[in-house]
């Protein structure tokens, strides 16, 4: 038998990912998306596979190269999904028994999301709509064979978004589609975007959320809240049922059709506010907050380099009395069942893992997609009556059979002020007892996110390269209650920095195989900010890698797609009133104190933490004669590490390992 080998960056090319499980209400068959790196390694391929309910073999169900978002019709007779057509996603449908798929939308700018009507006869889809003036200009451009470059006139503050780029002057609106006639009817219009949307149980109404101009906020781009509107489809009359005080995420009609359920925040702690379950009558009025004393974040907040974006909207029980939701707690993402009268809550699927999506079967059993510390993710089933759990897929079985991985161990320590902090530590792969090894501290982004019981390719690579890896959830992150997540606001580089340094002290005192003279640190986004902050405040690390980072809050305010709101919420200031405060919290202010060799990784199309942040830090360090490099990734946005071009993801991983190897003796 051949000995197992260590994991490599190039193993990314052989990895497979499963997501978006949906269960047929008629047959119980499970459709899901299977994603892999394309043969040319220039992107990804995704198609839909089917797990028959009778235990038959897992089989390919669609043959497209970019098929996503499967959804069974409520009667179970058809499966709808998104397929790219001329680089625009359109809705396609195929019979539940298989056969040829056919497109049922031909919208000019494609479809971003859709939902079946309760009677399986119609589709509610969201698509972009071009403004009248812009549409006229676009038509004129088409007639020009020798089109000259044109200026872009920008009038709104929210004119760019990471991943989407510069605003294309389009708005997201709802259409009603009749698949049998491939006819479309636009339902919403105006200078706003529709976010979440839902059908009423009887199909007579729809609800949707958006952010409109108000007397208090004549510019809706500056609103942090939004509202829910209900449209009666018989006459297209619209009623606003919320009062503008909530930041609303997912919405859904309750099964009795009397309320709209919202996962929403009142922003009492700014962007760090925990989401709660709100019920609001269709007639409007004050919303009822369920489980208001529950100090747990609802939804999925775990970070991973295996996926970007995760989570499942609310799903209701058969009897309509409960709702199933994800919740993030103590490093795990679980599924809970919440009684709609507020009387009872219970964890249904839990454990040391990241449940990143789920679906309900006709019998109200659960099919869920989950990753753990040693697996990137697979499908599982949970039977409610027997409490039995069964694994349904093993998509990386062949690759994983070749690899030796390091198993993370969980620890908890108390800070100097008595606060409990959870963390994980990984020994180098093939660790020899009695050896002294170097170690790398990893810091998550957000900061309103959390490390969890999930697989991290980057961490395993460092362990394979001979480093211990440790990572924690210091104050400022989710998973540990409202006080924990709110602490960092207005104090970046304060208590969060102290938590991390005390974590280093704890690890060195507890795990004596780590050599304190051979330490590295890295992190991305907020973790990149904190990496920059750390090396400007201590020389205890021998090397550092900062990824998609922030170094200057003054310039960040105006160049990030969220800078004008995020900076005020998190740092509590703006450049014209609080210049000194913003500079005090900027790592660039301490650049003369940076002696640690620092590698700077940044995507050129990152609009969340724009590349000028990395450039400023690099130029300053070079001018000061410090050891540094800047690696620019063309075309890459803020999600490079999770869903970027696979070739660049591999390059990025190789550079991280290389830098530590060059500067920390193994």
Q: Are 355 and 335 in contact (CB under 8 A)?
A: yes
- Residue 321 burial class via C-beta count within 10 angstroms: exposed 0-12, middle 13-18, buried 19 and up: middle
Q: Which two tokens stand for residue 461?
A: 């690579």
Beta bridge partners of 368: 358, 380
Q: Which residues contact 144 (CB under 8 A, 6 or more apart)?
A: none
Q: Are 18 and 393 in contact (CB under 8 A)?
A: yes
The CA distance from 405 to 398, in Å, is: 14
Cα angle for residues 536, 542, 545 (degrees, 5° grid):
70
Phi, psi of 590 (to 5 degrees): -115, 20
The CA distance from 188 to 190, in Å, is: 7
Spatial CA neighbour of 401 closest among 133, 1, 4: 4
CB atoms within 10 A of CB 390: 10
Tell me which of 334, 478, 638, 663 is the catalytic residue: 638
Cα angle for residues 87, 92, 93 (degrees, 5° grid):
170
Q: Which two tokens stand for residue 556?
A: 């960040």
Establish whether the linkage from the previous residue to 95 is cis, with ω within 30° of 0.
no
46 is catalytic: no
Q: Which two tokens stand for residue 577?
A: 């009133």
How crowded is the C-beta side of 87, counted as CA atoms within 13 Å? 0
Cα angle for residues 420, 422, 424 (degrees, 5° grid):
150
102 is catalytic: no
Name the residues annotated as catalytic: 525, 638
């Amino acid at each position: 038998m051949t000995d197992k080998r260590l994991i490599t960056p190039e193993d990314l090319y052989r990895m497979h990912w499963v997501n978006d499980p949906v269960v047929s209400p008629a047959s119980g068959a499970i459709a899901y998306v299977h994603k892999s790196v394309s043969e040319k390694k220039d992107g990804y391929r995704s198609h839909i596979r089917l797990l028959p309910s009778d235990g038959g073999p897992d089989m390919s169900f669609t043959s497209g190269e970019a098929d996503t978002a499967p959804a069974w019709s409520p009667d179970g007779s058809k499966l709808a999904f998104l397929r790219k057509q001329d680089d625009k996603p359109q809705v396609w449908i195929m019979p539940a028994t298989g056969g040829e798929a056919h497109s049922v939308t031909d919208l000019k700018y494609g479809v971003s999301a859709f939902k079946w009507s309760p009677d399986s006869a119609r589709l509610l889809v969201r698509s972009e709509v071009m403004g009248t003036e812009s549409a006229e200009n676009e038509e004129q451009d088409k007639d020009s064979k020798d089109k000259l470059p044109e200026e872009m006139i920008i009038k709104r503050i929210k004119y760019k978004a990471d991943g989407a780029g510069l605003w294309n002057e389009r708005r997201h609106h709802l259409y009603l589609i009749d698949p049998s006639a491939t006819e479309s009817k636009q339902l919403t219009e105006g200078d706003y975007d529709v976010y979440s949307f839902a059908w009423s149980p009887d199909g007579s109404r729809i609800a949707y959320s958006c952010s409109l101009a108000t007397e208090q906020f004549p510019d809706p781009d500056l609103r942090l809240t939004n509202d829910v509107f209900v449209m009666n489809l018989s006459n297209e009359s619209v009623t606003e049922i919320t009062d503008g005080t909530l930041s609303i995420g997912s919405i859904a009609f309750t099964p009795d059709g009397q309320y709209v359920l919202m996962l929403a925040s009142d922003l009492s702690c700014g962007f760090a506010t925990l989401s709660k379950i709100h019920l609001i009558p269709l007639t409007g009025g004050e919303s009822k907050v369920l489980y208001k004393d529950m100090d747990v974040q609802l939804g999925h907040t775990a970070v991973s380099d295996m996926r970007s974006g995760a989570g499942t909207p609310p799903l209701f029980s058969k009897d309509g009395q409960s709702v199933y939701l994800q919740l993030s707690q103590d490093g795990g993402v679980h599924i809970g069942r919440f009684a709609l009268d507020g009387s009872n809550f219970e964890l249904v699927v839990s454990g040391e893992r990241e449940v990143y999506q789920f679906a309900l079967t006709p019998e109200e059993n659960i099919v869920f997609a989950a990753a753990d510390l040693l697996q990137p993710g697979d499908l599982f089933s949970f039977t409610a009556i027997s409490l039995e759990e069964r694994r349904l897929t093993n998509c990386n079985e062949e690759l994983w059979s070749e690899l030796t991985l390091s198993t993370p161990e969980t620890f908890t320590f108390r800070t100097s002020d008595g606060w409990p902090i959870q963390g994980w530590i990984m020994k180098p792969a093939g660790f020899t007892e009695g050896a002294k090894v170097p170690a790398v501290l990893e810091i998550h982004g957000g900061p309103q996110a959390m490390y969890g019981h999930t697989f991290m390719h980057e961490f395993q690579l460092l362990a394979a390269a001979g480093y211990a890896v440790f990572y924690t959830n210091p104050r400022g992150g989710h998973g540990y209650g409202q006080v924990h997540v709110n602490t960092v606001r207005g104090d970046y580089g304060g208590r969060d920095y102290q938590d991390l340094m005390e974590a280093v002290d704890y690890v060195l005192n507890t795990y004596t195989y780590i050599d304190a003279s051979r330490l590295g640190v890295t992190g991305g986004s907020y973790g990149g900010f904190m990496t920059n902050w750390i090396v400007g405040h201590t020389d205890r690390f021998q090397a550092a890698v900062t990824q998609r980072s922030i170094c200057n809050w003054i310039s960040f305010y105006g160049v990030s797609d969220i800078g004008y709101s995020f900076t005020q919420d998190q740092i509590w200031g703006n450049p014209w009133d609080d210049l000194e405060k913003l500079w005090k919290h900027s790592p660039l202010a301490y650049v003369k104190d940076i002696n640690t060799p620092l590698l700077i990784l940044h995507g050129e199309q990152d609009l969340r933490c724009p590349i000028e942040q990395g450039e400023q830090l690099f130029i300053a360090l070079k001018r000061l004669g410090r050891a540094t490099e800047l690696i620019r990734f063309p075309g890459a946005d803020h999600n490079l590490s999770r869903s970027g071009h696979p070739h660049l993801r591999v390059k990025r991983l190789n550079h991280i390992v290389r830098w530590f190897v060059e500067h920390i003796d193994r």
